[in-house]
A and B are shown apart, each in its own frame.
Chain A
Amino acid sequence: MSKAPALRLYALVYLLVLYAPIIVLPIFAFNDNTVVSFPLRGFTTQWFGEMWADPNLRIALKNSLIIALSTATLATVLGVFAARSSVRYAWPGKAPVMGMIMLPLVLPEMIVAMALLVVLLSIGVPLSIFTIILGHVLICMPFAVAILTSAFQSLDRSLEEAATDLGETAWGTFRLIVLPLVMPGILASFLITFTISIDEFIISNFLGSGRPVLSVYIFGQFRFPAKVPSMLALGTVLVAFSVCLLATAEYFRRRGIAKAGGKDTGGFL
């Protein structure tokens, strides 16, 4: 591998281009200047204070957390049902139904958001946090189902049969054998759908009817030059939060695999 310097350089540049903008975020978040430009002027935590002082941010954050937690929970629970039944049972129309669940993955989100808006308004459902959650569950389901399907597929079916054979009921077998063994997949699904939901913009904007959620709030604030540094501060906090989240997920995933004695076939980190 060390004999391909060109490829090495390419990989290096690739990673730099990919991640440099994200590194710029915290640099300017701590820079003592309202304008985002070099040279740096001095260290300050002023922007973090300013950011937190804005009551709108706190409302948006609260709304976003409610939406993301609800979406992650719903999508993962529904994903468990869908993945389990698609892996384990045969039923008529399985292929088209599973295809339909995965469809939002390739549909333009704009179209999905518009269609949902038109339908919801025409049947008289008032736009609220709840409608945003509905939209988010729709677009998060493919991810949840993909992750959970692979988790259920890697489960040896004879483990369930063994538990049944040893006298457990169907529910007992699911609770004592299936659930603990697919837990890493459930955790991964939860975290990924949470992440997708919290930074989702289009559906939040369309179906929220101007209700403040984090992504819409950031987009709105970015129009005012004076607000840019505090938005960078917010971005820094979000990046730090994401890294912590993924690290936690990875820790649990690896521990799960070690406990189950499986081979580590890669994860998020």
Chain B
Amino acid sequence: MTFSADRPNMIEFKDVHKYYGDYHALRGINGTIKAGEFFSLLGPSGCGKTTLLRTIAGFEDISSGAVLIDGKTMAGVPANVRPTNMVFQSYAIFPHMSVQENVGFGLRRDPRSAAEKARAVEEALEMVGLKGYGKRAAHALSGGQRQRVALARALILKPKVLLLDEPLSALDKKMREQMQVELIKLQREVGITFVLVTHDQEEALVMSDRIAVMFEGEIAQLADPETLYRRPNSKKVADFIGTMNFIPCTILSEAGDKVEVDAKGLGKVALDIHQAPPPRGETPVVGLRPETLTLLYPGQTATERETAGVIDEVIYFGDMTYYDVYLGGTDTEVRLSMRNVPGRPVLDVGDKVRVAWSPEALVLFR
């Protein structure tokens, strides 16, 4: 989260539309990706995130609008001369070539001598932790190694932008988490703009400087991970990123930068206008993340607000326990998460509890 807003623009989308026949795949994409940024396109399958990535690479023509890379319009610029390189979902390692032939493929048109190119290949392999693997046949590699070869192959050309199309989805969980960290480190090391496509919100939160959440061909919200998580601008985004409790409420008054609501089970709450994204004409609800609610144990008191509740369900996770709790004698049920620490017993279904929460953690969707 070291992103600074004053960096120059690397990629600009200007009202980008894309039709496949009658199907409107991209519906007016606007936004910028900054130089040196780790940017993610996040959304469910079919939301257009891969299509948008492919318009940067030049594999898809756009129907209208403009895509600019480093200030230059990409209209009519074919994929093979764009200053971008891509890591494909399937890795697309050329199966009939060795590792070094794969990595060196992009250097075919490079005027450097064979020895210099060989050194560049060796350096690229070293950078992704595959030193000495050059002579191996590409098909003899594991999934993680293929991914590294794909990375080395794309980075050896020192592109302005590296595009990653769900690069971690084929790896198992452990390997994926390890590669996430490695990718972040690599990006910092080379300083190239990374654009990642993923449907995994956790992956996007972990890796990105900024994230564009996409639904149905549109960018729903473009923000840094923390803003996205704490201040989602719609119920849909809030639901897609992590878990959020939605509690029905009525708006009592709205004056200046204060909104007062009556939330079912929580009671009257005064919210700052920053906690209320622009209205969408929906039935008003307030959202609360599970970790912003805390169970009070005997002797503890709430610093801000406190509500009585009854435990309806206990889900034990080892390090954490999730509780589903009915609030304030109503049928409003919220999920809250508690870290399991010594001296804090896991409670039982039916236990009467007190729940502490802070008005500041609430988001109003209406």
Contacts and interface: CB of A to CB of B under 8 A. Distances in A.
Nearest to B89: A158
A157 to B, nearest CB: 9
Contact of B109 (A162, A163, A167, A180): A167
Contacts, number: 69
Interface string A147-169: 00000000010110111111111
Interface string B43-66: 000000000000001010000000
Interface stretch (A122-130, A216-224, A256-264): A256-264
Contacts of B173: none
Contact of A164 (B80, B153, B154, B157): B80
Nearest to A169: B80
B80 A159 contact: no
Contacts of A260: 95-96, 139
Nearest to B59: A161
A169 B85 CA distance: 15
B30 interface: no
A261 B79 contact: no
Contact of A161 (B92, B95, B108): B92
Interface residues of A, number: 20
Given A159-B94, A180-B96, A260-B96, A165 B108 contact: no
A158 B92 contact: yes
Contacts of B80: 164-169
B295 interface: no
A59 interface: no
Interface string B97-137: 00000000110110000000000000000000000000001
Contact of A165 (B79, B95, B137, B138): B79
A141 B59 CA distance: 32
A139 interface: no
B294 interface: no
Contacts of A25: none
B88 interface: yes
A48 to B, nearest CB: 43
B250 interface: no
B98 to A, nearest CB: 11
A181 B88 contact: no
A258 to B, nearest CB: 8
Contacts of A166: 80, 85, 105-106, 153-154, 157
B95 A181 contact: yes
A167 B106 contact: yes
A163 B85 CA distance: 10
Given A167-B80, A167-B81, A259 B92 contact: no
B323 to A, nearest CB: 46
Nearest to A258: B139
A49 B243 CA distance: 88
B315 interface: no
B109 A261 contact: no
A261 B106 contact: no
B140 interface: yes
A181 B84 CA distance: 26
Contact of A158 (B90, B154, B157): B90
A177 interface: yes
Contacts of A159: 92, 94-95
Contacts of B81: 167
Given A180-B96, A260-B95, A260-B139, A167 B108 contact: yes
Contacts of A172: 108
A176 to B, nearest CB: 8
Contacts of B139: 259-261
B260 to A, nearest CB: 54
B86 interface: yes
B95 A162 contact: no
Contacts of A168: 80, 105, 108
B299 to A, nearest CB: 61
A156 B86 CA distance: 15
A163 B90 CA distance: 14
Most buried by A among B89, B108, B157: B108
B92 A162 contact: yes
Nearest to A259: B96
A261 B138 contact: yes
Contacts of B157: 166-167
A166 B121 CA distance: 14
A246 to B, nearest CB: 23
Nearest to A161: B59
A262 B140 CA distance: 11
Nearest to B163: A165
Contacts of A261: 95, 137-140
B88 A161 contact: yes
Given A156-B92, A261-B137, A163 B105 contact: yes
Interface of A: 156, 158-159, 161-169, 172, 177, 180-181, 259-262
19 contacts: A156-B90, A158-B92, A161-B92, A162-B92, A162-B153, A164-B59, A164-B79, A165-B59, A166-B106, A166-B153, A167-B81, A167-B157, A177-B94, A181-B95, A181-B96, A259-B95, A260-B95, A261-B137, A262-B95
Given A167-B81, A167-B106, 16 more contacts: A156-B90, A158-B92, A161-B86, A163-B94, A164-B78, A164-B80, A166-B80, A167-B80, A167-B108, A167-B109, A172-B108, A259-B96, A261-B137, A261-B139, A261-B140, A262-B95
